[in-house]
Amino acid sequence: MQRTRDFHYRSVHDRDAFWREEASRIHWETPFESVLDFSRPPFAKWFVGGRTNLCYNAVDRWLPTQADKPALIWVSTEVDREQVYTRQDVFEEVNAAAAMLRELGVGRGDRVLLYMPMVPEAVFTMLACARIGAVHSVVFGGFASVNLAQRIDDAAPKVVVCTDGGSRAGKVVPYKPLLDRALGLAKSPPASVVVFDRGLAPFEPVAGRDLDYASLRERHRGARVPVEWLESSEPSYILYTSGTTGRPKGVQRDTGGYAVALASSMEYLFDGRPGDTYFCTSDIGWVVGHSYIVYGPLIGGQATILYEGTPVRPDGAILWKLVEQFGVNTLFSAPTAVRVLKRQDPALLRKHDLSTLRAVYLAGEPLDEPTAQWISEGLGKPIIDNYWQTESGWPILSAQPGVEKVPTRFGSPSFPVYGFDARIVSESNGEDLGPDQKGVVAIVPPLPPGAMSTIWGDDERFVQTYFTSIPGRQVYSTFDWGLVDADGYWFILGRTDDVINVAGHRLGTREIEESVNSHNGIAECAVVGVADPLKGQVAMAFAVLKNPAGADTPEGAKQLEGDIMRLVEEQLGAVARPARIRFVGALPKTRSGKVLRRAIVAVCEARDPGDLTTMEDPNALEQIKESLQ
């Protein structure tokens, strides 16, 4: 591990020289004047004065060597389509999309919100935004109207680009009605909505507002839109994520730092090179999708696979079939996908030629040992657990085979990635902890290139949220517990806050509570994350009714549960729907009125609820227990 350690040490202690070298991986239209401006901690500005562009680095820069090579490979097992776009094709499509956005008045710094499934037009629109210096905000297709409306209000986009619908496991999911509802809720809806009509879910266009993507693209076929050169710290995108309040946080990413971080990661973390094929099964609505479906592989001169489908349709070998068909070198997925595959015949893992595949990367949620072991043995390939967050933009902890090939350990995402000065600190006094001591995973600022630069429109909230929770020092809190063992391997031990992780989707329990509470029969409720063998965690809701008679009979309770689930699905999306809603007479609370979530979780997981001396009404926890019978 010597080299990994030295490499990391240099990235943090000889920061300027280290990142100056890394910065040469991308094209700078204007060279930067200094590597880092950290004069206003915790705000970090990387590559000050340098001007560059994400789209140029992802597309134009590779045209001289890769114009006719595949760049974007779209596979949809949902609508049975496959289409390979060369770098030149992508260039054409992105220019047309950029011309379309410009015609709609979108310019540098303006926001464009995308509400789209895994279709190439979504990637073209993202890159088109980057090309003209517009800031995209992609909202995950699994989110519904209330979520969407909050994001529209926060980002105030000039244009929304959407599709008529998507498809999930063969079932059409209409997007347009959810968007229309969100636009109805939004305080300042945008003037134009561009709809990419896939012919999946019929809709009535709104006259004077809705425009047709295909017609606009036709009109701008062959257009050439000049690249807008952005100063390195200008925002490239906003990506909303959940926290402990009901209000989502718009994670703001810069331009130059992000391009450099991703470009370096393609070599050091993924051991890849230009011409490789990269397959990430995430969704463009998540950070992993932004970094490793769209920008990372393309900036690294690799072809990227955009996959619309599940890991088990048409059968459990589909991922491996695609690896063989397209000669995939790097596969990036999530533990939940592997747990789904585990229910299939293991022979499917060996059905296809996987000789091109170097390693499988898994992230987004804890990777349990049995799952890691199963996939590792089944494939005979290295499994690389990597830990990061929407905020970090790229892995914080990971094995780094492009730096040094060090054995991994099941259950551990290995070591801090270069650039991240990660520590395990004491929650009570902020001091660094020693081996095997559980503490908060923190990062000493400056956060490295590629990490969030602020919360969109709210510098104060950025500082308050992330840099004030550890006493005694200004460090970034990941809000995860962790420890480092005596050999230097890191372990993640769960969240310190009320954020839960359902099948790799990060959800704020507070948001779900607000949604449940919006049902007029509910007096109050508590939503907690409970361990689940497939999804890692699921949300469970315990609600107190205004009129308990409403759930007196099993039929009445079932009916009400269904109604509330539908309400949450309508407001937040199916991802946020609790697995169960149980009705109780009271919630277990402390004498000061705080809901004892940890005790509720313990009861749900049939564990000892621990110290209950602060509990106001011991009977309340009993009721939770009974409601689970």
CB of 198 to ligand AMP, least distance (A): 27
Q: Which residues 6+ apart lie within 8 Å of 444 measured at CB? A: 421, 423, 475, 476
Query: Rounded to whole angstroms, how far apart are CA atoms 450 and 476?
Result: 15
Q: Is 413 in the site for ligand AMP (CB under 6 A)?
A: yes
From 108-116, 144-152, 154-162, 380-388, give the range in contact with ligand AMP by CB under 6 A: 380-388
From 364-372, 462-470, 573-581, 591-599, give the range in contact with ligand AMP by CB under 6 A: 364-372
Report which residue's Cβ sits closest to ligand AMP: 506
Q: Are 112 and 158 in contact (CB under 8 A)?
A: yes
Among 145, 167, 192, 478, the residue binding ligand AMP under the rule CB under 6 A is 478
Q: Which residues 6+ apart lie within 8 Å of 53 measured at CB? A: 29, 130, 131, 133, 227, 228, 229, 230, 255
Among 154, 365, 498, 561, the residue binding ligand AMP under the rule CB under 6 A is 365
Among 52, 76, 163, 501, the residue binding ligand AMP under the rule CB under 6 A is 501
Among 130, 182, 284, 363, the residue binding ligand AMP under the rule CB under 6 A is 363
- Compare residues 35 and 499 and give the one whose CB is closer to ligand AMP: 499
From 124-132, 192-200, 382-390, 587-595, give the range in contact with ligand AMP by CB under 6 A: 382-390
CB of 287 to ligand AMP, least distance (A): 5
Which helix or strand (DSSP H or E) is residue 174 part of?
A: strand 171-174
Q: Is 358 in the site for ligand AMP (CB under 6 A)?
A: no
Which helix or strand (DSSP H or E) is residue 272 part of?
A: none
- Compare residues 155 and 363 and give the one whose CB is closer to ligand AMP: 363
Neighbouring CB atoms inside 10 A of 504's CB total 21
CB of 591 to ligand AMP, least distance (A): 30
From 143-151, 166-174, 365-373, 457-465, give the range in contact with ligand AMP by CB under 6 A: 365-373
Query: Rounded to whole angstroms, how far apart are CA atoms 198 and 210?
Result: 15
Q: Is 386 in the site for ligand AMP (CB under 6 A)?
A: yes
CB of 388 to ligand AMP, least distance (A): 6
- Compare residues 46 and 387 and give the one whose CB is closer to ligand AMP: 387
Q: Is 389 in the site for ligand AMP (CB under 6 A)?
A: yes
Q: Is 412 in the site for ligand AMP (CB under 6 A)?
A: no
Of residues 253 through 292, those in contact with ligand AMP by CB under 6 A are 287
- Within 13 Å of residue 405, how many CA atoms lie on the same side as its CB? 5
CB of 478 to ligand AMP, least distance (A): 5
- Compare residues 241 and 623 and give the one whose CB is closer to ligand AMP: 241
CB of 317 to ligand AMP, least distance (A): 25
Helix ranges, 292-383 (H): 296-299, 318-326, 335-341, 369-379
CB of 418 to ligand AMP, least distance (A): 17
Q: Is 495 in the site for ligand AMP (CB under 6 A)?
A: yes
Q: Is 100 in the site for ligand AMP (CB under 6 A)?
A: no
Q: Is 241 in the site for ligand AMP (CB under 6 A)?
A: yes
* DSSP code at position 400: -
Among 276, 283, 385, 511, the residue binding ligand AMP under the rule CB under 6 A is 385
Query: Rounded to whole angstroms, how far apart are CA atoms 99 and 496?
Result: 46
Helix ranges, 434-504 (H): 459-467
Query: Rounded to whole angstroms, how far apart are CA atoms 126 and 7?
Result: 33
Query: Rounded to whole angstroms, how far apart are CA atoms 139 and 114?
Result: 6
Query: Rounded to whole angstroms, how far apart are CA atoms 280 and 32?
Result: 32
Q: Is 498 in the site for ligand AMP (CB under 6 A)?
A: no
Which helix or strand (DSSP H or E) is residue 419 part of?
A: none
Whole-angstrom CA distances from 373 to 339, 356, 370, 382 are 11, 21, 5, 10
Q: Is 238 in the site for ligand AMP (CB under 6 A)?
A: no
Q: Are 363 and 281 in contact (CB under 8 A)?
A: no
Q: Which of 150, 209, 203 is nearest to 176 (CA)?
A: 203
- Residue type (1 letter), 139: V
How many chain residues are in contact with ligand AMP, going by CB under 6 A? Answer: 20
Q: Are 404 and 488 in contact (CB under 8 A)?
A: no
List the beta bridge partners of residue 590.
Answer: 615
- Compare residues 210 and 385 and give the one whose CB is closer to ligand AMP: 385
From 254-262, 314-322, 361-369, 373-381, give the range in contact with ligand AMP by CB under 6 A: 361-369
Per CB under 6 A, residues contacting ligand AMP are 241, 287, 363-367, 385-390, 413, 478, 480, 492, 495, 501, 506
